[in-house]
């Protein structure tokens, strides 16, 4: 796992966006694994402004999103599908039929999860998976304790994850209790992974991930088992890493 230190959120977003743009130029039919949440919005903003300037062509690319809330239809304003439309899909020429997000209102979420894995396999896997990290170390919606052999599956969200995401809903009662998420094994199949960590709120978990052995109690530690993971962390997120003298893990 290679950790790159950047100045701030802007530089983190630009660095990740450049990696994605380079990949799409080298491999126009690349499969991009995308994430939602606050951390990755800056990356999408960078992709959109690059698209406006350079017309980077996404016409042959595909995207697969990590997760979706169970019970929300794709056009529900708080669904991850709507988030992706708002923050990326409607601004670039990624064909709508190439944009995949699990269907949150599927009648049988377990079946939907199975089909999602099949779809990823049919696309020949994810070329680059973009990830954020939860304050408890979750990746996708794989909460602590999730088996490393999990494929796309139905999960019950922890109270802390629901609280962290409550900011997008008008009340805590509206925050869905379950989600469909790509599993740890599905994420590890990606050819390349870029994990973004920004802000003080993520400083403790970043230090824990770097320090800890691989353990299901901190799902992101599993990334140490993947051969091509780049963590891009800003100075605020590196505060605890610095305090604990763990800078040996970090490159500038």
Ligand X SMILES: O=P(O)(O)OC[C@H]1O[C@](O)(CO)[C@@H](O)[C@@H]1O
Among 13, 39, 103, 129, binds ligand X (CB under 6 A): 39
The kind and range of the H/E element at 6 are strand 2-6
Among 50, 67, 112, 127, which one carries the catalytic annotation? Answer: 67
* Burial profile 35-62: b = 16 or more Cβ within 10 angstroms, e = fewer: bbbebbbbbbbbbbebbeeeebebeebb
User: Which has the closest alpha carbon to 129: 35, 226, 26, 1?
Assistant: 35
67: annotated active-site residue: yes
Asked about 138 being catalytic, the answer comes back as yes
136 is catalytic: yes
**Strand locations in 70-168 (E):** 99-100, 128-131, 153-156
Residue 102 touching ligand X (CB under 6 A): no
Catalytic residue among 138, 142, 153, 165: 138
Quick check: 144 binds ligand X (CB under 6 A)?
no
Choose which of 20, 23, 35, 84 interacts with ligand X (CB under 6 A): 35
**Under 8 Å CB-to-CB from 248, ≥6 apart: which residues?**
none
Nearer to ligand X, 24 or 130 (CB): 130
Q: Which of 46, 50, 67, 68 binds ligand X (CB under 6 A)?
A: 67
Residue 63 in the binding site for ligand X (CB under 6 A)? no
Site residues (vs ligand X, CB under 6 A): 35-39, 67, 132-134, 140-141, 165
Known catalytic residues are 67, 136, 138, 143
């Amino acid at each position: 796992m290679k950790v790159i230190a950047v100045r701030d959120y802007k530089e983190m977003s630009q660095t990740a966006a450049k990696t994605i743009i380079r990949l799409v130029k080298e491999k126009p039919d690349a499969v991009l694994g995308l994430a939602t949440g606050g951390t990755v919005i800056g990356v999408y903003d960078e992709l959109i402004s690059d698209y406006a300037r350079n017309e980077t062509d996404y016409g042959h690319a595909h995207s697969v999103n990590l997760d979706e809330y169970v019970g929300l239809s794709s056009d529900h304003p708080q669904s991850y599908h709507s988030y992706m439309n708002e923050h990326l899909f409607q601004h670039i020429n990624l064909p709508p039929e190439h944009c995949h997000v699990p269907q949150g209102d599927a009648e049988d979420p377990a079946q939907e999860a199975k089909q999602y894995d099949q779809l990823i396999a049919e696309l020949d896997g994810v070329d680059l998976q973009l990830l954020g990290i939860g304050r408890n170390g979750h990746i996708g919606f794989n909460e602590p304790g999730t088996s490393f052999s999990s494929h796309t599956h139905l999960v019950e969200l922890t109270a802390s994850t629901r609280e962290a995401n409550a900011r997008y809903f008008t009340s805590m009662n509206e925050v869905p209790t379950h989600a469909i998420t790509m599993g740890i094994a599905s994420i590890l199949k990606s050819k390349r992974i870029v994990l973004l960590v920004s802000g003080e709120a993520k400083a403790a978990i970043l230090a824990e991930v770097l320090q800890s052995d691989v353990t299901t109690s901190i799902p992101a530690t599993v990334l140490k088992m993947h051969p091509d993971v780049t963590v891009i962390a800003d100075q605020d997120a590196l505060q605890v890493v610095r305090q604990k003298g763990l800078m040996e893990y970090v490159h500038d």
